Structures are given as structure tokens and as C-alpha cells.
Amino acid sequence: MSKLFDELIEGLNAYKDFTQGKITLRVETRERIEPASITAEEVKA
């Protein structure tokens, strides 16, 4: 199998173990940034 597929499967298995409480993964929380308001005229410029 390809390296990408192997890494994808490894990540999915780690997530499954995390949701079942078998392992602890590093979790990072970010603040939500509000979207900028922009008009159609500003996009055209």
C-alpha cells in the first residue's frame, strides 16, 4: 500500500482509539475568527 494510505489508516485508528478512551491525543483549541464583510463592489475592484 502507499505511504499516504498507511498514514491515513494510522490516523483513523488513532481517532477510533481516542473516541473509545483508549489513548489521549494532543488537543488544541482555537478562537473562532468572524468572517470579514465585503461587498460585491470591493471584490470587483
Handedness of CA 2, 4, 10, 13 (dihedral sign): negative
**Those residues with Cβ within 8 angstroms of residue 7's Cβ, 6 or more apart along the chain or in another chain:** none
Q: How far is CA 27 from CA 3, 18, 30, 31, in A?
A: 25, 11, 10, 14
| Predicted TM-score of the model (pTM) | 0.55
Domain ranges of the chain: 1-29
| Contact of 31 with 37, CB cutoff 8 Å | no
Distance of CA 38 to CAs 2, 7, 44, Å? 43, 39, 11
9-43 residue pLDDT tens: 999 999 999 999 999 988 899 999 999 999 999 98
Structure-model confidence comparison of residues 1 and 29, the more confident one:
29
